[in-house]
Amino acid sequence: MRRSLWLVPLVLMLGCNQHKEELSKALADAQALAAEKDSLITEVLETSKFVNGVNEELAKARTALVTTAASTDAGTPAERDRAARTAALERVQALVARLNETEQRLEQSTQRARSLGNRNTTLLRQIEEYKASVDSLQATALRTETELRSVIDSQSVQIAGLNQQLDTARVVNAQLSTEKVALQDTVSNLTAYKNTVYYIAGTEEELLEKGVVTKEGKKFLFFGGKQLHPARSLDPTVFTAMDKTTGTMIDLPADRQYKLVSRQDLSFADSASIKDGKLAGTLHIAQPEQFWAGSKYLILVEN
């Protein structure tokens, strides 16, 4: 009997200890479940913020599909536009990667929520809704990525064609510039050739010796005679050259008189220097075009 009385307190004490351990374990499990629930709620809130950010980024990317980038960077408008869309494509690709990670985290969150001892149906439903949103965003992001790639590839072909046209235009422009310079030189040379005239004055012997004049005609007994005429082939180097548009005066010795051998018309010269068809002093050419029309070589022989 005494032994039985001694065993009762021992059994009660063991039962209390066991109950205390179970209570502690239950409390620890409840705390773990609460912490897990808080963690899941935090992840869901972060997912909500991320989903809103994805919508904004996709809206920017879609805007890049239909608008030209306003940029002050160097390059053609097409190149700046392609650069903007390439940047948008890179952002979309980064979003797709983050969406994939978020989908995996949501799947893990679902498994964790389902493993809770007391399932939170509201939390599970919210996670499922965000999973659906992520799936929809993934589809939109992938579609936007495809569209951006298509536009960028098209622009790459277009830019390559434009660069080829630009290179061709540069070559043509260089050729035209060369031809323009050559044409200008030709025009300048032709103008100089057209405006250059020549004159010479000397005695009959000097002109004959230089091959500027020749005697032509026949003499029979005392009748007839040979006259001075310009040679058929004249050497410009024995003449003095001048520009008829700027040179309108020819200085002759004042103490000598000259008569015209070549075919110029003295009526287009100043009559003050002409007397009885002979020239003395300075010859003033009043109308150069008409004066030099007969010949560009003026030959004066001393009388």
Record the pTM.
Answer: 0.46
Residue 232 CB-density burial (10 A; 0-12 exposed, 13-18 middle, 19+ buried): exposed
Position 51 scores a pLDDT of: 62
Mean pLDDT of the chain: 75
Is pLDDT larger for residue 2 or for residue 260?
A: 260
The predicted-structure confidence for 195-232, as pLDDT tens digits, reads as follows 999 999 999 999 999 999 998 866 555 555 678 899 99
All residues at 6 or more sequence positions from 131 whose CB lies less than 8 Å from its CB, including other chains: 103, 106, 107, 110
Residue 255 confidence class, pLDDT cut points 50, 70, 90: confident
Residue ranges per structural domain of the chain: 32-167, 194-302
- CATH class in words for 32-167: mainly alpha
For residue 239, pLDDT beyond 90: yes
Among 15-24, 103-112, 229-238, 264-273, where is mean pLDDT lowest?
A: 15-24
Q: Which residue has the tokens 């044409």?
A: 183
For residue 31, pLDDT beyond 50: yes
Q: Are 230 and 303 in contact, with CB atoms under 8 Å apart?
A: no
